[in-house]
Amino acid sequence: MIIESKTIKKVCEIAKCCYDFGWDERNGGNISVLVDESEIQASLAGAPPICRINTGVDNSNLEGKLLLVTGTGKYFRNIPNEPKESLGIIRFCKNGFADIVWGFENGGKPTSELPTHILAHKSRLAVDDNHKVVIHSHPTNVIAMTLTHPLDSKSFTLSLWRMITESLIVFPDGVSVLDWMLCGNVEIGIKSAELLKECRSVIWAHHGIFCTGSNLDETFGLIETIEKSAELYMKTLGHRITEGISDDRLRELATAFGVTPKKDLL
């Protein structure tokens, strides 16, 4: 049964963590995962599509792939107990269409951020064959930092790296920062996808974060680390007597852990 699949169970677990951490209030945030056909193929065999939808974006290079995605208007706190209503699986067709093949019971539909998720998946797959996951969340301190820090990707990344040793190790590719834009449309998806060509994380000013990765644990852990760094930044704002980890020590850290910091940041 699809409901018993490893990916469904992990999405339910991650959704609960996001809600418990206060990152996904009400129906805020969304998750999508490219699902291996082998994991659910037997459960879908012979079952007709529930309906066809227009994704609103070019989904070329994704045709035939399956995407597990959260539903529009669905509360993260309800996902573990109502997965068949809160989640759905779509199979990409040609010309921007997709078939809903499982879930979204009682008339549900994919998240309004589906265009951004699709474009994000396409962007990351172009640079990382192992890519599978996109998580959009509203981490409190990350959002607060966009109100107290210049919205410049380079300086924002350096401020996060300087706060805690793990930051450079976990996201040596840095973060990109996008000034406020109206969400839920193709334009913000295009902008975000362009930034995701160079890093796995895009911060939407005064809104939240889009993080990507090869699996759910890695992607969730990326958000955790960025949020922890942002929390330290906010808690020490106006009280610091050091700048944090210096450039020379960041270089030492990168060498010790075998990571390559994003070009031109140090």
Tell me the whole-structure pTM to 2 decimals.
0.94
Count Cβ atoms below 10 Å from residue 256 Cβ, excluding itself. 9
First to last CA, the chain: 50
Residues 134 and 80 occupy one common structural domain: no
Q: Please state the length of the chain.
A: 266
Whichever domain contains 218, its CATH number is 3.40.225.10
Contact 68, 11 (CB under 8 A): yes
Q: What percent of the chain has pLDDT over 70?
A: 98
* Segment 105-125, tens digit of pLDDT: 988 899 999 999 999 999 999
Q: Which domain holds residue 231?
A: 113-266
Note the Cα 115 to chain centre separation in Å: 13
Q: What percent of the chain has pLDDT over 90?
A: 82
* Segment 15-55, tens digit of pLDDT: 999 999 999 998 899 999 999 888 877 677 667 888 899 99
Last residue of a domain, one of 85, 112, 139: 112
Domain count, the chain: 2
Q: How far is CA 214 from CA 125, 171, 220, in A?
A: 10, 14, 11
Q: What is the CA angle 35-40-41, rounded to 5?
A: 110
Backbone angles phi, psi at 101, to 5 degrees: -115, -10
Contact 102, 51 (CB under 8 A): no
Residue 13 annotated in active site? no
Residues 213 and 166 occupy one common structural domain: yes
Residues 107 and 203 occupy one common structural domain: no
The pLDDT assigned to 30 comes to: 96
Structure tokens at 57: 């974006």
Eight-state DSSP code of residue 213 = E
**What is the bridge-based pairing of β-strands 97-103 and 51-54?**
antiparallel
- The per-residue DSSP string of 105-163 comes to TTT--B-TTHHHHHHHHHHHHTT-TT--EEEEE--HHHHHHTTTS---HHHHHHHHHHH
Of 4, 113, 194, 224, the active-site residue reads: 113
* Segment 187-201, tens digit of pLDDT: 999 999 999 999 999
* Segment 59-83, tens digit of pLDDT: 888 999 999 999 999 999 999 999 9
The pLDDT assigned to 74 comes to: 92
The helix (H) or strand (E) run that includes residue 210 is strand 208-213
Count Cβ atoms below 10 Å from residue 230 Cβ, excluding itself. 28
- Tell me the average pLDDT across 205-226: 97
